[in-house]
Amino acid sequence: MRLYWIKTNSFIKNIFSNYIWNIPNTGNKIYLTFDDGPTPKITEWVLEELKKYNAKATFFCIGKNIVSHPDLFNNIINEGHTLGNHTFNHLNGWNTETTNYIENVALCESSLLNQKSKEQKTNTKFFRPPYGKIKKSQSKKLRQLGYKIIMWDVLSADFDQTISPEKCLENVLQNAVSGSVIVFHDSVKAFINLEYALPRTLQILKEKGFKFDTLPY
């Protein structure tokens, strides 16, 4: 049984109004986001696909992956994309004590900063909780520390290995509107769906007049 929403409804957005779910704008912009990287070969492929359409995106990176793949991480920066924090160990906030969770976010933040060159040391303070699961106490503390908690308006569900690549694409195309924050994953698990859905998402939404931009500061 599916335990997630493809399109986040207004009721949820209103309850959790301290989180960013979508970004209304007058420029017909859509915000592609990628979670769980950087991942060898897959993140590189994503960067090439984005480049074909002059599309910019935001990558919510796992700290341990940044440490393991620093060159790939810097490729994301050099291509003009924006970075976000996805914890160091991809923690489920609901199952993690708040102090430990905040420390893990800080460890990821250190990885983000340490791997950048001096010219790239800008701290975006974008945070996305893995699985979308975060306690109220964790959220409050992170926001006090200056983080913007970025959720999503449209979930591609590329991580769901029970759906077809065609369904993954449909999830995006049927629900994306101007201002949507769309979630993909540059991970091994998601790649079979991502490989099909991402190029077609870029092509079709561009043909419809949408522009792909990084999350605004």
Q: What is the pLDDT of residues 126-184, one digit of tens each?
A: 999 999 999 999 999 999 999 999 999 999 999 999 999 999 999 999 999 999 999 99
Instruction: Name residue, tokens 């592609």.
Output: 32
Distance (Å) of CA 176 to CA 1, 8, 55, 157: 24, 11, 16, 14
User: What six digits make up the tokens of 69?
Assistant: 């793949």
Per the annotation, the verdict on 35 as an active-site residue is: yes
Confidence at residue 36, expressed as pLDDT on a 0 to 100 scale: 98
Spot the catalytic one: 158, 160, 185, 186: 185
Q: What is the helix, strand, coil percentage profile of the chain, to 5?
A: 45, 15, 40
Q: Which domains does the chain have, with CATH numbers?
A: 10-212 (3.20.20.370)
Q: Is the pLDDT of residue 9 over 80?
A: yes
Name the residue type at position 36.
D
- 122: pLDDT confidence band, cut at 50, 70 and 90? low
Spot the catalytic one: 35, 36, 158, 213: 35
Question: How far apart (Å, rounded) are the C-alpha atoms in residues 150 and 126?
Answer: 7
